[in-house]
Amino acid sequence: MPSSDSLAAVAVLRLAVGLLSTLVNGATTTGVLLWDLGLFIYNLLSKNLPANRVVPEGQPGAGGLWPQYQPPQEGSSRCSCPALNALANHGVLPRDGRNISFQQLNQTVSFDLSDIDVHNGIEHDASLTREDSIFQKDQGKPSPKLIERLLTGGTGPNGDLTPADLSRISGYRRTEAKQQNPQFSLSFNHKMFGSSNSSTLLTIFGGRIDDLRPFLLEERIPDGWQSRITHPMGLTIAEFNSTVFKVELGIKEELPASLGFGGVHEDQTKKHA
Ligand code: HEM
């Protein structure tokens, strides 16, 4: 039986390791956020890139020229993320969506796209382009019904999507999923993931329906497309999060009815509802 002295030594060691890892994590997060703030300020002070020169020369998509699109073949792996699927459909990632290496971690670690769809890992209920996993096990399959709802819900110029549209449609989708799915769950973190995903449609795609139609329905990058973010240092966390919070805080359907916003009594995905 271990002596009380050795138990105390183990306890002290664990406390010390715990404290050290908290300090290291805190310092890393602070470092990343400070670096990001620097890039944000640099972006504010610099000239934007020309809209047709966003992708650097020599990279796939430079000059709007993307490798040829091929839809997934029998046996290909696809996932719940339209962007990763589109990169595989264009051959920027392996076309079969398998054995993708995490180069930054270790050359031997590899994954298939469908591996990221572990439910309530990153993948969650109430997505805007996928039925909940209880109804659609294969999260690589887009839902044309949900996507059409999203694409016809824009109130911006040319029917483009605005942050208010994404809040309204997300709110409706969450309420609907909660009513239909007996195993519905959506933690605070998953709500933030959801609003972050929506915000890529507003930032990187500028909310433009003409580009989002092929991207979401076929998971194809439109000919000539380049990111709508033209800042020389790209999309910083600071800039991105301002859209994420706008979308998330604009979701009113989940607030108590006593505040005058609660409940969904009609299809609030509709414009001007
Ligand atoms: C390594 C980088 C990425 C990973 C691992 C990733 C992973 C995921 C996952 C797991 C989901 C599903 C979440 C859900 O259940 O709704 C998702 C959704 C989504 N992702 Fe990504 N993603 C990445 C990068 C991107 C980028 C760069 C974009 C935009 C250009 C993007 C756009 C989207 C969109 C729009 C959705 C929402 C789909 C929906 O609501 O149904 N993703 N992503």
The number of the ligand 1 atom at minimal distance from the alpha carbon of 204 is 30
In which residue are the tokens 């819900």 written?
Answer: 153
Q: What is the CB < 6 Å shell around ligand 1?
A: 80-84, 116, 122-124, 127-130, 197, 200-201, 204
pLDDT for the residue 235:
97
CB 130 within 8 Å of CB 147: no
* Residue identifier of the C-alpha nearest atom 3 of ligand 1: 84
The CA distance from 195 to 172, in Å, is: 13
Distance from Cα 7 to the centre of ligand 1, integer Å: 46
DSSP 8-state symbol, 220: -
- When pLDDT is cut at 50, 70 and 90, the band that residue 4 belongs to is confident
Whether 273 shows a pLDDT value over 50: the answer reads no
Distance from Cα 56 to the centre of ligand 1, integer Å: 23
Question: Quick one: average pLDDT of 216-229?
Answer: 97
CA 76 to chain centre: 22
CB 73 within 8 Å of CB 80: no
Residues in a beta bridge with 110: 101
β 110-111/100-101 pair status: antiparallel
pLDDT for the residue 270:
60
pLDDT for the residue 105:
40
Distance from Cα 80 to the centre of ligand 1, integer Å: 7
Choice from 77, 78, 81, 161 to test ligand 1 binding pocket (greatest atom count within 8 A of CB): 81
Q: Residue 184: which of 255, 254, 258 has the closest Cα?
A: 254
* Residue identifier of the C-alpha nearest atom 42 of ligand 1: 83
pLDDT for the residue 65:
97
Distance from Cα 9 to the centre of ligand 1, integer Å: 45
The number of the ligand 1 atom at minimal distance from the alpha carbon of 121 is 10
- Enter the tokens of residue 261: 């916003």
Mind listing the pLDDT tens digit for each residue in 130-139?
999 999 999 9
Whether 122 shows a pLDDT value over 60: the answer reads yes
218 contacts: CB under 8 Å, gap ≥ 6: 69, 71, 89
Distance from Cα 154 to the centre of ligand 1, integer Å: 20
Q: What share of the chain is helix, strand, coil (3-state, %, to 5)?
A: 45, 0, 50
Mind listing the pLDDT tens digit for each residue in 25-80?
999 999 999 999 999 999 999 999 999 999 999 999 999 999 999 999 999 999 99
Element (H, E) at 87: helix 82-89
CB 169 within 8 Å of CB 149: yes
* Residue identifier of the C-alpha nearest atom 19 of ligand 1: 81
The CA distance from 145 to 143, in Å, is: 5
* Residue identifier of the C-alpha nearest atom 16 of ligand 1: 127
| Cα dihedral across residues 52, 238, 251, 260: positive or negative | negative
| % residues pLDDT > 70 (the chain) | 90
Distance from Cα 193 to the centre of ligand 1, integer Å: 9
What predicted TM-score, i.e. pTM, was given to this entire model? Answer: 0.88
Q: Residue 64: which of 72, 55, 73 has the closest Cα?
A: 55
CB 79 within 8 Å of CB 140: yes
The number of the ligand 1 atom at minimal distance from the alpha carbon of 200 is 29
The number of the ligand 1 atom at minimal distance from the alpha carbon of 124 is 15
Higher pLDDT, 3 or 146: 146
